[in-house]
């Protein structure tokens, strides 16, 4: 589904990012959710270098994702995915138990897994030449590995975290993609297969193509 310039839902995006960030900027998350349910959205390109004042009014740190849905403005990936999930049960189950599972895993992706990958990105990219980063890297990868071992055990033989595909998987797959520069997924074949299932979905591919 191509973006629609007349759509009532708008997703601001950066007009440029460094090569290492291409395809990984977090507006990919709401784009993917929209593609899954065929929800039209428009985009508004903003400068990543000189971010406009009105964007800071919507997102205090000038980051993405942000969505503008009619007169409603939201920021933060988890909040946005919950909002989009309310629009269609293909993203968020309507039964009490299924909703609880999907919501729990959504928060787990952003609170229990992503912070470690933020730190890995810091030592691998932004501070790679610093002595402290070189010293921190082995214990950090070990810590992340243990966290992923527990995730792989919890996933078990299921295709998706909460049963059916949901916003929880949009969150977790996009978080786990950040491990691509390490062997953390290569050592955990069930998680690697899980990420491959997610990124093979037509909706993900359409969202990524639109972002790029």
pLDDT, residue 3, reads: 83
- Greatest Cα pair distance in the chain: 51
Query: How many percent of the chain have pLDDT more than 70?
Result: 99
- Residue reference for tokens 């784009």: 31
Average pLDDT over residues 157-161: 97
> Per-residue pLDDT for 30 more than 70?
yes
pLDDT, residue 179, reads: 84
Q: How far is CA 207 from CA 26, 39, 132, 192, in A?
A: 11, 12, 37, 20
> Per-residue pLDDT for 1 more than 60?
no
């Amino acid at each position: 589904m191509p973006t629609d310039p007349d759509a009532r839902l708008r997703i601001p995006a950066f007009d440029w990012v460094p090569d290492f960030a291409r395809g990984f900027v977090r507006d990919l998350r709401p784009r993917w959710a929209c593609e899954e349910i065929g929800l039209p959205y428009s985009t508004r390109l903003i400068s990543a270098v000189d971010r406009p004042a009105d964007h800071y009014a919507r997102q205090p740190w000038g980051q993405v994702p942000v969505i503008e849905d009619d007169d409603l403005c939201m920021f933060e990936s988890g909040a946005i995915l919950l909002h989009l999930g309310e629009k269609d049960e293909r993203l968020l189950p309507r039964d009490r138990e299924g909703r609880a599972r999907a919501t729990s895993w959504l928060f787990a992706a952003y609170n229990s897994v992503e912070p470690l990958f933020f730190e890995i990105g810091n030592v691998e990219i932004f501070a790679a030449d610093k002595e402290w980063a070189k010293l921190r890297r082995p214990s950090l990868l070990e810590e992340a590995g243990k966290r992923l071992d527990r995730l792989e055990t919890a996933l078990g033989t299921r295709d998706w975290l909460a049963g059916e595909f949901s916003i929880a998987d949009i969150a977790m797959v996009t978080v786990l993609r950040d491990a691509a520069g390490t062997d953390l997924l290569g050592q955990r074949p069930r998680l690697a297969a899980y990420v491959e299932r997610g990124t093979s979905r037509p909706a993900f591919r359409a969202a990524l193509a639109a972002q790029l």
